[in-house]
Structure 1
Amino acid sequence: MFTTRPQLSGDFGMVASTHWLASAAGMSVLERGGNAFDAAAAAGFVLQVVEPHLNGPGGEVPILLWSESEQRVHVVNGQGVAPAAATTERFAELGLNTVPGTGLLAATVPGAFGGWLRLLQQWGTWPLADVLEYAIGYAERGFPVLPQIATTIATVAPMFQADWSTSAATWLPGGTPPPAGARLRQPGVAATYRRIVAEAQARSGDRDAQLDAARDSWYSGFVAEQIAEFSAGTAWRDSSGRPHGGLLTGDDLAGWAATVEESTSFDYHGHTVHKTGPWGQGPVFLQQLALLAGVDLGAAGHLSADWVHTIVESGKLAFADREAWYGDPRHYDVPLATLLSPEYNAARRELVGAQASRELRPGSPDGRRPVLPDPVAGGGPAEVAAGGTGEPTVRTDGSTRGDTCHVDVVDRWGNMVSATPSGGWLQSSPTIPGLGFCLGTRAQMFWVQPGLPASIRPGARPRTTLSPSLALRDGRPWLAFGTPGGDQQDQWSLHFFLSVVHAEPNLQAAIDAPAFHSAHFPSSFYPRESRPGVLLLEERFDPAVVAELRRRGHEVELAGDWALGRLSAVARDGEVLLAAANPRGAQGYAVGR
């Protein structure tokens, strides 16, 4: 089969990510003796610099890993929590029925820095200065502006100039947006990371003590102080159309730390897929597997109308449960065991009919009555103006969203990492002048309506869409994979996995295959629109398949030949290491030997 690139194979190490510079940095770490955890962290920090429209230092990161020495999977939770002042009552006082999609009100504690440091300290080997060397270098010397970066900055430039003066000073060099291909620098980010390294080295010569010191600099030192001061000191216009200050305080940052947690898993055709807990949408991938486990998907024919219809209709049921039942399990009793049980899914599977459903149909696990959010304002979707390869970065009405990055690593010792950093993108919130970066807006995924699993609560984690994946085969680490794309992450990555298991073992061919996703259920992003029955397909699908899906009641929209998905993956097959990356968007790359 023709592929846009070869599937890489070797026995030393593999790195795949959404940007070639991050993949190259990760591979450099492996070549210099670092392990997969060192390489993933170095690549993750580079992604903050070279994909600033998709993530930044003020964002978050969930990480799945296989530790060869421990022979087990772990989840590093680098998702920050809502501020202590973030209550449904507070938002009601402000006259808001949704959390704004931009600005300071939507900030949670920035968890990416703590997440990467927890990974390094517990499983890595490199000192922080060496890990940050790559990101600091690109921030100081500059990096090539991707077309998507140029489009994003140009679109939000009028808003920056009118409302966010600190962002205008950061992202409009000479007062104008940088063109694609230009060299862009982030001296503020470089200075912040250099100061953190200097403070860490001044405290101790011991690697672990330096990591502790760096964490203190961020969460209780100068970074936390400037975040708290900026959040409280000024009101900035956000997507509500009104100016608001922030809710984050120094106490919020000082009281948070990245955690190591158990994964959630499901066995499917000899493969055990591991995901995060229901504080993220990760288990919705597993619910889809649980529904499909009772179907002979292989007999449907890869990319046939039966294949697409069965996957999409099962996905509608799983995502309906996400809306009704997922939230931070420390604050809400999520019936996850029942949602993944054979009995529950056997009953739910009966709802998959021959025609496309237009309903949102959550189940009643353990006899509990599902409660869905009240309809929110927002209406139909805004047309995508940039990219089309993930959550739209900017839209034709001038509103903004961010997207996400992804990185996968496997090393010669058998360690494996899958991480999906996101948030803190340049258009999310005004730049903090003394730090060079902005806060994230992950709190927009909370509901202001009280009493829901994902209602905003002090100290709660938002029900994030960030969803890295790690799969074992016959009990051994096999595949690390993921994609940007918001609500699409556990659709695009699911289809990739099912393709590899049932039809196309070549990783690159499975990534290159025509992609699809449903827009049926409510979006996790402001303004939370839904499009019942809408199914997006890449135009490379067989026209006969498109026609048959329309006959079955799907409202099919064609999205271009190479428009959907930005997957990357690494694998271990015995002693052979494999890797592949997405050609869409012309920036993802896999490297290895």
Structure 2
Amino acid sequence: MVTTRPTLQGTFGMASTTHWLASQTAMAVLEDGGNAYDAAVAAGFVLQVVEPHLNGPAGEVPVLIAPGDGRPVRVLCGQGTAPAGATLAHYTGLGLELVPGTGPLAAAVPGAFDAWMLLLRDYGTRTLAQVLTYAIGYAEGGHPAVERVGETVESVRELFETEWTASAEVYLPGGRAPRPGALLRNPALAGTWRRLIAEAEAAGPGRETQIEAARHTWRQGFIAEALLRTAGTPAMDTSGERHRSTLTGDDLARWEATYEEPVGYTWNGWRICKAGPWSQGPSLLQQLALLPADWTAWDDTERVHRLVEGTKLAMADREAWYGDAAGAAAVPVDALLSGTYSHARRSLIGEGASYQLRPGSPGGRTPQLARHAHTAAAAGSAGEAAADAHRPVGAGTGEPTVGEPTVSSDGSTRGDTCHLDVVDRWGNMVSATPSGGWLQSSPVVPELGFPLGTRLQMAWLEPGLPNSLTPGRRPRTTLTPSLALRDGVPVLAFGTPGGDQQEQWQLHFLLAVASRPPVRGGPDLQGAIDAPNWHTESFPGSFYPRAMRPGSVTVESRIGEEVIDGLRRRGHRVTVGPPWSEGRLCAVARDPETGILSAAANPRGAQGYAVGR
């Protein structure tokens, strides 16, 4: 197959991110003597500047860490919890049935900043000033805005001009949304980082001392004070009302990023590592567990059909079982991944498309679904006429065309995010999926230059569910980076933006890597990324308003008429998208025998890039 770009190969270092400036930032850090973790932190902060519609400092990030010295893979959790005041009674007392998709009321405790600091402190070698210099430069001096930033700002212009005026000051300078290629500046954000560095350096000369001082400033210093002032100011959200956040100083002061063991599953010699069921990570493992031994014999139509049906089963389990629970309510991950359970679930996949949400009963436990899930399923089935379902993407559907979020005039977003992967010459490997704190999520904090996040919208406002809104618990997140090992050695880091599509696109990528012949002796990463892709929305969405489209499959037109017709004959409601519209994957790899490094990035949207040497 002719690919859009070559799979890069080298021996010094590789980085792949969803924006070329972040990729080159990571490479600059490696060239300056930093390791993969230093590079990831610097690139992460640059992504907050150049992709502000996809992530921000007050968002969240899960990180998978694979040290080159043989230490085990770890998960660094940068997903904040629900504040102490975020009770079901508080939200339902406001007359809400869902957590709003925008505004301060949807804010969890911000998690991304502390996670990046912990990664830098424990695994990095650079100082705070060294990793922040790139983000400061792009925020202060400006960077050429990508098309989607201006489109996003334009879609929420009225909201910014009439309600979120601090956001208008940053993103509608002179009353104009950023034009593609025009320099976009955020001097307030640059000033925040400069002041943070000054206060950190005043705390003492040591690298770790300064990082700890920065963490304290975020939680209890001038940054915390500014966040709380804006959080306590009522602001318009998707409910049509003005609400204030439940976030308090105690919430900010007490929360810290944490390390965890990954959840893993061995498939065809690959050991895939994911974050736990507070993310949707195990759903990728469940989809792998549903594959039969003869999956490589499927033709194209059979392959898409069976993978779509497997996704439906895994995502139904996600809805019924995943969440941040402990004790007797803990998620039965081992049972969900067991051979017996997977075999029984596989038998549910028939020749035709399923329109039902069918969670299983691991260990004999009874699944529980939110009332809204049943409502969404009924509404989706009733409102999805076959002719309408066959319409092209972009024909008044509101569907994204490059895997980025669709933003309505009230700021509500079908969420998306960023991704980065880095591997260095010492074999250190990192995969991270930063998100949240989008420019359209909540009003910009005037003194800081960035808004709060809205991750609480993923929790349900009814009791007794694994993902019920609960103070001190993490809302289940869609963010889900991946690491793969062979013979116990890390060999592949990958991930993608895309909200609920992330684990679908990552499955397709992994299967393509596993089944494609090597390129110059290494994995054909670019060919796997370039291959035609698809997704289904036959389960409740994680983002407000939590809609679903039973029986739906959205495919790239490149997949071919034969496959499209075959899927329709099997009963799938097929939406045909543009030829390059599904997935925004990044990936890096390392051959432990030769030390050869590889990297590739998604060409869709003309924004992601891999670099290396």
Common topology (TM > 0.5): yes
Return the letter of the residue paired with 2:69. S
What is residue 294 of structure 2 aligned with on the other side?
296
Distance in 2 (alpha carbons) for counterparts of 1:220 and 1:363:
44
Structure 1: runs of 5 or more not aligned: none
Residues in 1 aligned to 2:142 and 2:200: alpha-carbon distance in whole angstroms: 25
2:598 paired residue among 578, 582, 592? 578
> 1:330 deviation in Å?
3.8
CA deviation map 1:413-438 (0-9, x unaligned): 00000000000010000011111110
Map Cα deviations across residues 270-311 of structure 1 (whole Å, 9 max, x no partner): 00000000000000000111111x34111114xx00111111
Q: Find the aligned partners of 2:179 and 2:526 in 1 and give their Cα distance.
A: 31
Q: Which residue matches 1:323?
A: 319
Three-state SS of the structure 2 residue aligned to 1:570 is strand
Aligned match of 1:283: 282
Which amino acid is the alignment partner of residue 141 of structure 1? G
Letter in 2 for 1:185: R
Name the counterpart of 2:339. 342
Query: 1:551 maps to which residue?
Result: 569
1:117 aligns with 2:117: yes
Q: Tell me, in whole angstroms, the C-alpha distance in 2 between the residues paired with 1:257 and 1:525.
A: 25
Q: After TM superposition, list the pairs within 5 Å mapping 1:436-475 onto structure 2.
A: 436-475=449-488
User: Which residue is 1:139 aligned to?
Assistant: 139
* Cα distance, 1:231 vs structure 2: 1.2
Relative to the length of structure 1, the TM-score reads 0.97
User: CA deviation digits over 1:501-558, x for unaligned, max 9?
Assistant: 1235410011001000111111000000000000010000121111111111111110
Deviations 1:313-343 (A, max 9, x none): 1111111000000000347411111001111
Deviation at 1:168, TM superposition (A): 1.1
TM-score normalised by the chain length of structure 2 = 0.94
* Kept after mapping to 2: 8 A contact 1:401/1:428: no
Partner of 1:93: 93
Q: Which amino acid aligns with 2:609?
A: Y
* 1:506 matched residue in structure 2: 524
Equivalent in the alignment of 2:268: 269
Report the CA distance shift for 1:124/1:263 in structure 2 as closer, same or farther (over 3 A).
Answer: same
- In structure 2, the residue matched to 1:417 is 430
Checking the alignment, whether the CA contact within 8 Å between 2:25 and 2:42 is kept in structure 1 is: yes
Q: Which residue of 1 aligns with 2:391?
A: none
Query: CA shift at 1:397, angstroms?
Result: 8.4
Partner of 2:54: 54
Is the Cα–Cα contact under 8 Å of residues 142 and 184 in structure 1 kept in the other structure? yes
Letter in 2 for 1:519: E
Looking at structure 2, the residues matched to 418 and 48 of structure 1 have their Cα atoms a distance apart, in angstroms, of 16
Aligned to 1:172: 172
Shift, 1:70, TM fit: 4.1
Contact conserved, 1:390 with 1:486, CA < 8 A, in 2? no
Which residue among 522, 533, 551 is the counterpart of 1:533? 551
Give the conservation status (yes or no) of the 8 Å contact 1:276–1:467.
yes
Which amino acid counterpart does residue 371 of structure 1 have in structure 2?
A: Q
Instruction: Report whether the alignment pairs 1:240 with 2:239.
Output: yes
Report the secondary structure of 1:417's partner residue: strand
CA distance in 1, matches of 2:397, 2:157: 17
- Deviation digits for residues 243-263 of structure 1 (CA, Å, limit 9, x no counterpart): 111111111010100001000
Gaps of 5+ in 2: 385-393, 518-522
For residues 396 and 48 of structure 1, the distance between their equivalents in structure 2, rounded to whole angstroms, comes to: 22
Give the Å deviation of 1:398. Answer: 6.8
Q: State the shift of 1:384 in Å.
A: 5.4
d(CA) in 2 for partners of 1:396, 1:203: 44
SS across alignment from 1:3: coil
- Equivalent in the alignment of 2:520: none
More divergent stretch after superposition (378-387 vs 1-10): 378-387
Whole-angstrom distance in 2 between the partners of 1:407 and 1:155: 27
Shift of the 557–386 alpha-carbon distance from structure 1 to 2, 3 Å rule, reads closer
Which runs of structure 2 are paired with 1:96-245 in the superposition (5 Å)? 96-232=96-232, 234-245=233-244
The residue matched to 1:375 in structure 2 has which SS?
A: helix
Residue 375 (structure 1) aligns with: 372
Per the TM alignment, residue 386 of structure 1 is displaced from its structure 2 partner at its CA by 7.6
Partner amino acid for 1:581? A
The residue number in structure 2 matching 1:407 is 420
Deviates more, 1:156-165 or 1:24-33: 156-165
C-alpha distance in 1, partners of 2:397/2:108? 26
- 3-state SS of 1:273 partner: strand
* Secondary structure of the corresponding residue to residue 278 of structure 1: coil
Deviation, structure 1 residue 165: 1.1
How many angstroms does 1:401 deviate by? 4.2
Distance across 2 between alignment mates of 1:98 and 1:513: 37
Aligned-pair distance for 1:345?
0.7
From 351, 354, 360, give the equivalent of 1:354: 351
Structure-1 separation of matches of 2:128 and 2:397: 39
Task: For residue 99 of structure 2, give the secondary structure of its aligned residue in structure 1.
Answer: coil
Which amino acid in the other structure matches residue 587 of structure 1? Q
Maintained 8 Å contact 1:79/1:461: yes
- Tell me how far 1:388 sits from its aligned partner: 2.2
Identity of aligned residues (%): 58
8 Å Cα contact 1:16/1:408 also seen in 2? yes
Q: Which amino acid aligns with 1:374?
A: R
Contact 2:401 / 2:578 at 8 angstroms: preserved in 1?
A: no
Question: What do residues 221-267 of structure 1 show as CA deviations (whole Å, max 9, x unaligned)?
Answer: 111111112211x2111000111111111110101000010000000
CA distance in 1, matches of 2:45, 2:106: 23
Residue in 2 that maps onto 1:45: 45
Matched, 1:588 2:608: yes
Summarize the Cα distance change of 1:218–1:396 in structure 2 as closer, same or farther, 3 Å threshold: closer
Q: Which residue of 1 aligns with 2:2?
A: 2
Q: In the alignment, which residue of structure 1 is the partner of 2:27?
A: 27
Does structure 2 retain, via aligned residues, the 8 Å contact 1:405–1:420? yes
RMSD over aligned Cα, in angstroms?
1.5
Q: Which residue identity is paired with 2:323?
A: G
Distance 1:386 1:18 in 2: 20
1:10 aligned partner, one-letter code: G
- Distance in 2 (alpha carbons) for counterparts of 1:110 and 1:401: 20
State the distance in 1 between where 2:399 and 2:335 align: 40
Residue 57 of structure 1 aligns with an amino acid whose one-letter code is: P
Q: Aligned to 2:566, what secondary structure does the other structure show?
A: helix
